[in-house]
């Protein structure tokens, strides 16, 4: 049996994980405990089956043995599902840590794209980010050459009902609909401010549709991506102001 991954391999305490990171670690620990409990139950069921196969069966023992074998099979299937969930949660935790590990806007956008492709399984998607100058939205990143008309433009001016609704109220939307080809619209929202949206237009061939666990992943991605984008913008503004101030000081000193 494969042991679940250990949290000791994740970033240390000195990295000051965010509240979202602490929540993810707590979820991982609970999932790992489920794996250990399931493994113990499977081992106990296997022991009972082994004892039954090694001894003569008394009255009713055959039925109990069959029940134990059925339970072992069910636990094995559940364990496989839990291990899969632990793997995805670990991947998500590492991905969100990477989001918060940089304050460079371009690197943040690239990380969002990598999560959409490798963790969500999106083949075609568009990243919209708000323009702080005119309060509109720019098409900052496009992957997979989507043929949606608005995705080809440098700016999003509205027109897709699912995208418009998600940008307006900050709610996760799923499609497609008659008016929208989007499979999912993930709003990037922090402190009641929408800083953009990830619009998923097509999934990879092996992924037929979104499942329930994807909804939770997309919610987490939206929250973490939004805070990472917001932080990178604040840092960029501060860095620009600092450079301007340093230039003024040098000019004054020269004078």
- 44 class by beta-carbon count within 10 Å (0-12 exposed, 13-18 middle, 19+ buried): middle
Q: Where are the alpha helices (DSSP H) in the chain?
A: 19-54, 61-100, 105-115, 161-169, 212-254
Stretch among 65-79, 175-189, 230-244 having the lowest mean pLDDT: 65-79
Average model confidence (pLDDT) across the chain: 78
Provide the phi-psi class of 174: left if phi over 0, else alpha when psi is between -120 and 50, else beta.
beta
pLDDT grade for 84, boundaries at 50, 70 and 90:
confident
- Specify which of 14-18, 117-121, 170-174, 208-212 reaches the highest per-range mean pLDDT: 170-174
Q: Give residue-wise pLDDT tens across range 203-232.
A: 999 888 888 778 888 988 898 899 999 888
Q: What integer pLDDT is reported at residue 29 of this predicted model?
A: 67
pLDDT grade for 51, boundaries at 50, 70 and 90:
low
Q: What integer pLDDT is reported at residue 61 of this predicted model?
A: 63
Q: For the beta carbon of residue 12, count every other beta carbon within 10 angstroms.
A: 8
Domains of the chain (ranges plus CATH)?
Answer: 7-99 (no CATH), 103-241 (3.30.450.40)
Q: Give residue-wise pLDDT tens across range 150-173.
A: 988 899 989 999 999 999 999 999
């Amino acid at each position: 049996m494969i042991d679940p991954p250990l949290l000791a391999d994740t970033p240390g305490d000195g990295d000051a994980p965010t509240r979202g990171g602490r929540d993810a670690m707590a979820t991982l620990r609970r999932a790992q405990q489920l794996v250990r409990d399931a493994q113990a139950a499977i081992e106990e069921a296997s022991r009972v089956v082994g004892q039954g196969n090694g001894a003569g069966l008394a009255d009713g023992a055959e039925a109990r043995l069959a029940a134990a074998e059925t339970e072992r099979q069910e636990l094995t299937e559940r364990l496989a599902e839990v291990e899969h969930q632990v793997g995805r949660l670990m991947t998500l935790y590492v991905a969100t840590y990477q989001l918060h590990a940089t304050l460079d806007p371009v690197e943040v956008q690239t990380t969002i794209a990598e999560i959409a492709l490798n963790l969500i399984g999106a083949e075609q998607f568009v990243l919209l980010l708000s323009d702080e100058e005119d309060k509109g939205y720019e098409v900052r990143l496009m992957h997979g050459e989507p043929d949606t008309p608005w995705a080809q433009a440098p700016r999003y001016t509205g027109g897709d009902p699912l995208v418009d609704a998600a940008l307006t109220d900050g709610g996760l939307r799923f499609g497609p609909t008659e008016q929208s080809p989007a499979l999912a619209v993930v709003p990037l929202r922090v402190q009641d401010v929408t800083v953009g949206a990830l619009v998923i237009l097509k999934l990879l061939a092996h992924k037929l549709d979104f499942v329930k666990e994807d909804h939770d992943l997309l919610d987490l991605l939206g929250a973490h991506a939004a805070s990472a984008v917001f932080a990178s913008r604040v840092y960029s503004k501060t860095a620009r102001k600092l450079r301007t101030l340093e230039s003024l000081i040098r000019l004054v000193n020269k004078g």
